[in-house]
Amino acid sequence: VLSISAISVEYHSGTITSDQTWYAVDNPHIITGNIAIADGATVSIEPGSYVEFSGLYTFTVYGSLIANGTDVEHITITSGQTSPASGDWQYIHFYYADGVNLLDYCDISYGGYSYANVYVTGASDVTIGNCTIGNSATNGIAADGGANPNVWYCSIFSNALYGVYTYDAGTN
């Protein structure tokens, strides 16, 4: 008996203007171009989801990103290359994001072509907790422009420059 199951793939690029949920059942979620969450929109990523960048793309958050994994089901955000390397994708950029933003139990790797794997600018309300952030071509986390992200219980490793880099910013 031969059993074949359908493989679901979700492709994402462009500007998201209304609320979305990215489900683990739709893995992988492939970023095929620069992507932005507009002011007032929220993207929620379900525990167990796998997000991969297919090139040097940026994920910019003006609205809200809730990537809320669990201690059992992390969310993976990484390179989509067969042999991943530092700098395969740009960064997740919270740019004066207008909503509450959360990266919890996320494994973020092989980005940081410029700035960092996670880059926070301005008065963004960003909490980064219980995450592993590594293998960036630059910094694990970078914050500037008065940013004050809350970073706790994270393992930040194997980044080319700094684990956490701040300029005109603070971290809690």
58-77: pLDDT as tens digits: 999 999 999 999 999 999 99
25-45: pLDDT as tens digits: 999 999 999 999 999 999 999
C-alpha 60, offset from chain centre: 9
Tokens of 162: 């700094």
Measure the CA–CA gap between 132 and 85, rounded to whole angstroms.
16
Q: What are phi and psi for residue 105, nearest 5 degrees?
A: 55, 55
Tokens of 36: 């932005």
